[in-house]
Amino acid sequence: MPFTRRATLALPALLAAPALHAQPTTWAPSRPLRLIVTYPPGGVTDIVGRLVADPLGRELGQAVVVENRAGAGGNIGTQAAVQAEPDGYTLMLGTTALFGVNPILYTASGIDALRDLVPVGITGEAANVLSVLPRRVRATTVAELVAEAKARPLVYGSVGNGSSSHLSALRFLQDFGIEATHVPYRGSAPLVAAMLANDVDFGFDTPATSTAHIRAGTFRALAVTTAQRASALPDVPTLKESGLPDYDMGIWFGIFAPRRIPAPVATRLKQAMAAIRTPAQDERLRNAFVDPILVPEDRMQAYVESTAMAWQAIARAARISAD
Instruction: Tell me, yes or no, whether 220 lies in a domain.
Output: yes
Residue 94 belongs to a domain: yes
In this structure, the answer to whether residues 269 and 218 fall within a common structural domain is: no
210 with 270, same domain? no
Indicate the helix (H) or strand (E) that contains 60.
helix 44-60
Are 121 and 255 found together in one domain? yes
Whichever domain contains 278, its CATH number is 3.40.190.150
What pLDDT is attached to residue 19? 43
Torsion on CA atoms 87, 92, 97, 99, rounded to nearest 10: 10
Structural domain boundaries, residue 215: 129-224
176 and 112 Cβ atoms separated by less than 8 Å: no
Could you tell me if residue 323 is inside a domain? no
**CATH code at 146?**
3.40.190.10
What's the whole-model pTM score? 0.87
Is residue 111 very low, low, confident or very high in pLDDT (cuts 50, 70, 90)? confident
Percent of the chain whose pLDDT exceeds 70: 92
Instruction: Among 224, 240, 271, give the residue marking a domain's end.
Output: 224
Least confident of 10-19, 198-207, 216-225, 227-236: 10-19
pLDDT (0 to 100) of residue 123: 96
Judge if 217 and 137 occupy the same domain.
yes
| 240-274: pLDDT as tens digits | 999 999 999 999 999 999 999 999 999 999 999 99
Task: Among 224, 243, 272, give the residue marking a domain's end.
Answer: 224
- Read off the pLDDT of each residue in 22-49 and give the average, rounded to a whole number: 88
The answer to the question of residue 11 being in a domain is no
> Could you report the per-residue pLDDT of 189-219, keeping only the tens digit for each?
999 999 999 999 999 999 999 999 999 999 9
DSSP H/E element including 120? strand 117-126
Report pLDDT digits (tens) over 287-299: 999 999 999 999 9
How many domains is the chain partitioned into structurally? 2
- The arithmetic mean of pLDDT across residues 116-138, rounded, is 97
